[in-house]
Structure 1
Amino acid sequence: MPLVALRIQQTGRQHYHVHSALLSGSICNPRRTWRGAHTVVASGLGGMTPTDGAHLAAAAQRVPSVRTELAATFRTALHSAFPAISVEPIVVATNQARHGDYQCNNAMQLFGRMKGKEGAPKKPTDVATAIVDALPASSMIAERPTLAGPGFINVKLSHGWISERIHSMLLQGIGTWAPPFKYKRAVVDFSSPNVAKEMHVGHLRSTIIGDTLARSLEFCGVDTLRINHVGDWGTQFGMLIQHIAETRPGGLEGTTTEEVSDLQKLYKESKARFDADEDFKARARAAVTRLQSGDTEFQETWRRICEASRNEFDAIYQRLGVHILWRGESFYNPVLKSLVEELIERGIAEDSDGAQVVWVPKEKVPLMVRKSDGGFGYGTTDMATLRQRIQDEKAEWLIYVTDEGQAGHFKLVFGAGRRWGTIPEENPPRIDHVGFGLVLGADGKRIRTRDMGAATRLVELLDEAKERCKGTIKERRGDDISAEELDESSSIMGYGAIKYADLKNNRKTDYKFNFDEMLNLNGNTAVYMLYAHARIASIVRKVGKDVNEVAKTAKLSLDHPAEAALGLQVVRFTETLEDMFIDLAPNRLTEYIYELANLFSTFYTECKVAGSENEDSRLLLCEATAIVMRQTLSLLGIKPLYRI
């Protein structure tokens, strides 16, 4: 029986339909009894090849999500109760705990399909009752499911089953909870700043969202290539290099190194000349030809410009903990001419006022692959990247993380790729454009610097976040923190606050950048999550036991309502990650960890750990919460703090 393939449609808070096709694997037909029996589950990976990450569990150890396993149980019941009707289980998390933990909502659908036929059930609740009667015995379900409304089947999970699942994770590692994928290799294209310009706030979202998606894929064992498609080629470099040659003392030989701040100033000057001076424009275009023809002096200057930018970018990536492969537009330049010639020869590209364009079915405008002056643009380069990633990199999943305004462009690129045959008709790779909105200031407008109205430099935001957190931590800890620890903790908290504030928003919408809100200790912020984790670490230190040793002998129980609620949220980690992958929406993760932190706060208030008669059990629940919290923070690109 295949693992439930998931397509999630949100129908309310924490309320999802389960449909089709992301994961791959198998579940054996387990032995089940309503109470007390051991559930045997084996999970396959659909041919997935794990990466070298030590956190990943062996393939045979992967376990399906709670929702997936529950859906498999209902699939058996549906087939048994109504063998003549093929239907997939609709399993959702309930909105309110008083209704149970999950619902199966197939009854009304099935009733509608059978209505009027001989021997059909008289009402939806009769269908629901038949489904419940056909459920195989399972230690997963606490008691016989109840019915509500016109046939909703409410399920309460067994606390003992949840406890065993958590305990198993403590012994075998969080990697056993990573969803198995049918995809072996993915390419994530993100960040993509332009050479000779400083990274600004506009690059924040692509970098952070792309890193989170890549981290999540890697956690699931997908071989992930992180690509920084840097703007390092084109007319602007002829313009810039010609300006340097004409204005700098000594011309192109006047310096051996470059600084990005100087280059940005020179770029603005050269752009102004290019727009206003036709003679300079002609010289700049001639410079492009010299650069692209391999002129040694021009290429050496271009190399220095790229190196300066790369050093500047890498310093920011290092602060953000982002690892990414530089692969600029220049990488694809050698193949652009032959690519266009192939498109023309095959009749895919056609003339349009001297330019060459590719028309895509149902689109009102074409994709330009060669300009009327013979130059190549973004469309040509993106066609080349598409072919390289599918044919050479063997990517089965391509993800492009850019602003929402480029959605139309990529729609043309992917459509042209299908006409070209680069995207095959049979077994095509999954391709997603992950668009995002703008980062706005408190006034609802784009964040700008005080001078020249330029977008705020990203390094300025990082510096300010770090300094604000340094003051907060210093105030709390006083002299009880070294300068080194203070610097590290303020970096973790400050950079984490910026990342979390971005990721918690729906990526398609604009959001306001507000330091006061993102550094709030009591809100849905990284600071709140870091304090919650530090509190757990404090409890573990106070108990003073080796949690790994405790896990080998102690039993975890969920007798108190606060324990049960926290335990249920802990085991929902896997399905949260599944949900995130469906829509490529990192805010699924932030919503999950925020609820986890809130439930832990309730548990902390109502359930004494150190010195209680349930100390060992509650210590294990604390550790499981911390492990899941750390893993979720890691997926978001945020390091944990163990003391604040």
Structure 2
Amino acid sequence: MEGGGNCTGRRLGRGEVHRHQEGGCLGLRVGEDLVGGSGGLSPISMGKSSTSWKENDLLKASSRKLIFAANTYSVSTMATDEENVGNVKRKLGKLFEQSLRTVASDVPDVEPSIVPCTAKFGDYQCNNAMRLFSQIKGKGTEFNNPNAVGQAIMKNLPQSEIIESSSVAGPGFVNVVISKNWISKTIQAMLINGIEKWAPRLAVKRAVVDFSSPNIAKEMHVGHLRSTIIGDALARMFEFSNVDVLRRNHVGDWGTQFGMLIEYLFENYPNWEDVGETAIGDLQAFYKASKQRFDSDAAFKERAQQAVVRLQGGESKYRKAWSQICEISRKEFDRVYQRLGVQLEEKGESFYNPHIPGVIKALTDLGLVEESKGARVIFVEKVNIPLIVVKSDGGYNYASTDLTALWYRLNEEKAEWIIYVTDVGQQQHFEMVFKAAKRAGWLPASENAYPKASHVGFGLVLGEDGKRFRTRSTEVVRLVDLLDEAKARSKAALIERGKAEQWTEQELEQTAEAVGYGAVKYADLKNNRLTNYTFDFDQMLNDKGNTAVYLLYAHARICSIIRKSGKDIEELKKTGTVVLDHEGERELGLHLLQFSEVVEEACNNLLPNVVCEYLYNLSEIFTKKFYSNCQVVGSKEETSRLLLCEATAIVMRKCFYLLGIVPVYKI
């Protein structure tokens, strides 16, 4: 068995589905390597950090009631209005906040509840009146029903260029219509100053996003797809929102399987140092062969177990072999990351391993670690099984590493939000780790305070048979093969449409990659991450419906409209004016302005599908409400409408970027 603790399942990658038995290790796969990592980290000798290990600092920090007391603040802490230039909901919230303070001065901490309207009463709606009436009813108030409260809220709204008109409906719902002149002015400012001015401002300055995290010596397969794609999208959204994001690839590079791999390498390739990568060849085949030998040969198994001890003891020969295996794996991983356009910094099990003893000691000194059946464990609230932090044989496991990584990210890297992107099966493990951290005072008890840690779970990728996606030979699908097939199918479709004769080979290749890889990503991201979804090439490469192909083609058509006009769009940005007299123009303009609040919602709720839904709706509004009803080229409103086309293309491109999709400009 390869997993730590009493886990009965195989060692798992963080993108893989988790199995465990009650009372044993939760089967979490974590890890990363120090040697030759992309972050420029230097090798470590086992038991001693490459940086000075300040155990006393750890003990002092861990014994405090709340390490980050000075940094803890409510989720409602928001940036200034000036910073949220394009965020309509934020601006309305500030206006309604002033009104609510006047109407209900005796009610503390009234937060404006602002939502987009679904009916035709307006563009946005304030929903505070009913709850506010229930709070002030019977206290000598002048209001005798919620509608009267709503009327007062509306009447006390400050004058603003944002609001064109307001009204009250039903039990006090305050509806507002956004000024089309303000919409026009805001879009023009974005065209001149850039869409970065519309970036939301979140309540955190630094976040860790832990995603992908495959196992060294195993190839990445479809099981890692969701973690990699979802994690990259979240990182991009946070980065766009001016958060310093530490993209962490917590690869599994320090498990017991390395003894097996190293011993097999020594046995079959006595001159392994000279032949290097050639000796290992196909990494997956090498792993399977060594595992088969480990399971069937007791003498080999014993030698492999001794090899682990020697590796952990820092013997140079074993460390060098380990380093070589890690480097070969890293090259294989990079083949996937290059195709997906994903950037990660490796920091995994071997990096955190030297810090584990100090963390366990600190937790023990706090009285959190108890003896249980020979193991050392932490009990957490509302969970029947304990979190095993030291196995009965004295070894460490996934919980040991994850607790240490969490401590390091909070104390050394000063992260305010640590986000773990793994399958839903690992949710209980992370909840236990987070609860243990709260008991230790590392994290605040409140869910609405920072620093905080969140598990971003996701469902399975299914085949057409409704079962986990596999090849016909029942093998898991290699991720490189899947992506290459997506590109090949995309290229074949382009050739069938006659693009091979119209484009250069480079244009054909680049477009096939953008469409093929984008189709795979969007098919995943458009779903709520908690649900399973069926992997279907035909559906995801369809150029109709809610697919990346449809959206990329829609963007290319908008670019074509601008090109065919023959106008210099950059010059029009400086001299032209956006006018929203037609209902289709206004609806498009308002939807463009909702971009900032959509990205903010996606970040706060860790849901990339929110951006996908917005992007699809934007394309539909442009096509069916604006372009179908508003002639662009040759019309008297040509300049304004070309600017609306350009604004739409800019927002679409930013959505593509946030989702990790490369736009195409002609099709």
TM normalised by structure 2 equals 0.85
More divergent stretch after superposition (266-275 vs 321-330): 266-275
CA offsets, 1:173-222, max 9 Å, x none? 10110011332211111100001111000100110111111111111111
Find the aligned partners of 2:466 and 2:249 in 1 and give their Cα distance: 29
Cross-structure match for 1:335: 355
1:158 CA drift (Å): 1.1
Cross-structure match for 1:530: 552
Give the length in aligned residue pairs: 589
Cross-structure match for 1:562: 584
Find the aligned partners of 2:91 and 2:385 in 1 and give their Cα distance: 47
Find the aligned partners of 1:118 and 1:80 in 2 and give their Cα distance: 16
Of 187, 211, 214, 2:232 maps to 211
**Structure 1 residues 79 and 487 mapped into 2: Cα distance closer, same or farther (>3 Å)?**
same
Cross-structure match for 1:637: 660
Cross-structure match for 1:199: 220
1:435 CA drift (Å): 0.8
Find the aligned partners of 2:420 and 2:269 in 1 and give their Cα distance: 42
1:345 CA drift (Å): 4.3
**Structure 1 residues 99 and 304 mapped into 2: Cα distance closer, same or farther (>3 Å)?**
same
Map of 1:106-505 to 2, 5 A cutoff? 106-143=128-165, 145-246=166-267, 248-250=268-270, 252-253=272-273, 255-258=275-278, 262-423=282-443, 428-451=450-473, 453-476=474-497, 477-505=499-527
Cross-structure match for 1:614: 637
Find the aligned partners of 1:287 and 1:250 in 2 and give their Cα distance: 15
Q: Is the CA contact 1:196–1:260 (under 8 Å) kept in the aligned structure 2?
A: no
**Structure 1 residues 380 and 258 mapped into 2: Cα distance closer, same or farther (>3 Å)?**
farther
1:473 CA drift (Å): 1.6
Q: Is the CA contact 2:86–2:593 (under 8 Å) kept in the aligned structure 1?
A: no
Map of 1:564-603 to 2, 5 A cutoff? 564-602=586-624, 603=626
Map of 1:59-74 to 2, 5 A cutoff? 62-63=84-85, 65-74=87-96
Q: Secondary structure at the match of 2:163?
A: coil
1:307 CA drift (Å): 0.7
1:280 CA drift (Å): 3.0
Q: What is the letter of the counterpart of residue 207 of structure 1?
A: T
1:259 CA drift (Å): 7.5
Find the aligned partners of 2:77 and 2:519 in 1 and give their Cα distance: 32
Q: Secondary structure at the match of 1:224?
A: strand
Q: What is the letter of the counterpart of residue 465 of structure 2?
A: D
Q: What is the letter of the counterpart of residue 204 of structure 1?
A: L
**Structure 1 residues 108 and 24 mapped into 2: Cα distance closer, same or farther (>3 Å)?**
closer
**Structure 1 residues 363 and 267 mapped into 2: Cα distance closer, same or farther (>3 Å)?**
same
CA offsets, 1:128-175, max 9 Å, x none? 1121111222221122x2222222222111111111111111111101
CA offsets, 1:40-98, max 9 Å, x none? xx33xxxxxxxxxxxxxxxxxx51510111121111222223322332221111123x2
Q: Secondary structure at the match of 1:436?
A: coil
Q: Secondary structure at the match of 1:432?
A: strand
**Structure 1 residues 457 and 559 mapped into 2: Cα distance closer, same or farther (>3 Å)?**
same
2:85 counterpart of 1:21: no
Cross-structure match for 1:552: 574
Q: Secondary structure at the match of 2:287?
A: helix
Find the aligned partners of 1:619 and 1:260 in 2 and give their Cα distance: 58
Of 525, 535, 544, 1:513 maps to 535
Find the aligned partners of 1:195 and 1:205 in 2 and give their Cα distance: 18
Q: What is the letter of the counterpart of residue 313 of structure 1?
A: F
Q: Is the CA contact 2:500–2:508 (under 8 Å) kept in the aligned structure 1?
A: no
2:158 counterpart of 1:104: no
Find the aligned partners of 1:253 and 1:136 in 2 and give their Cα distance: 75
Q: Secondary structure at the match of 2:457?
A: strand
Find the aligned partners of 2:123 and 2:363 in 1 and give their Cα distance: 55
More divergent stretch after superposition (377-386 vs 591-600): 377-386
**Structure 1 residues 349 and 556 mapped into 2: Cα distance closer, same or farther (>3 Å)?**
same
Q: Is the CA contact 1:22–1:181 (under 8 Å) kept in the aligned structure 2?
A: no
**Structure 1 residues 125 and 346 mapped into 2: Cα distance closer, same or farther (>3 Å)?**
closer
Find the aligned partners of 2:168 and 2:392 in 1 and give their Cα distance: 68
Unaligned runs of 5+ residues in structure 2 are 1-73
1:421 CA drift (Å): 3.5
Find the aligned partners of 2:341 and 2:383 in 1 and give their Cα distance: 40
Q: Is the CA contact 2:86–2:186 (under 8 Å) kept in the aligned structure 1?
A: no
Q: Secondary structure at the match of 1:433?
A: strand
Map of 1:70-85 to 2, 5 A cutoff? 70-85=92-107
Find the aligned partners of 1:258 and 1:131 in 2 and give their Cα distance: 74
1:346 CA drift (Å): 4.1
Q: Is the CA contact 1:187–1:395 (under 8 Å) kept in the aligned structure 2?
A: yes
Unaligned runs of 5+ residues in structure 1 are 1-19, 28-41, 44-61
Q: Is the CA contact 1:534–1:643 (under 8 Å) kept in the aligned structure 2?
A: yes
More divergent stretch after superposition (237-246 vs 308-317): 237-246
Find the aligned partners of 2:269 and 2:132 in 1 and give their Cα distance: 81
1:388 CA drift (Å): 1.3
1:458 CA drift (Å): 0.4
Find the aligned partners of 1:304 and 1:478 in 2 and give their Cα distance: 43
Find the aligned partners of 2:289 and 2:176 in 1 and give their Cα distance: 67
Q: Secondary structure at the match of 1:383?
A: helix
Find the aligned partners of 2:361 and 2:301 in 1 and give their Cα distance: 28
Q: Is the CA contact 1:252–1:297 (under 8 Å) kept in the aligned structure 2?
A: no
1:415 CA drift (Å): 1.7
**Structure 1 residues 420 and 135 mapped into 2: Cα distance closer, same or farther (>3 Å)?**
closer
More divergent stretch after superposition (134-143 vs 269-278): 269-278
Q: Is the CA contact 1:188–1:225 (under 8 Å) kept in the aligned structure 2?
A: yes
More divergent stretch after superposition (425-434 vs 567-576): 425-434
Cross-structure match for 2:565: 543
Cross-structure match for 1:31: none
TM normalised by structure 1 equals 0.88
CA offsets, 1:442-470, max 9 Å, x none? 1111111233x221000111011101111
1:111 CA drift (Å): 2.2
Q: What is the letter of the counterpart of residue 67 of structure 1?
A: K
2:648 counterpart of 1:625: yes
Q: Secondary structure at the match of 2:376?
A: strand
**Structure 1 residues 310 and 428 mapped into 2: Cα distance closer, same or farther (>3 Å)?**
same
Q: What is the letter of the counterpart of residue 69 of structure 1?
A: K
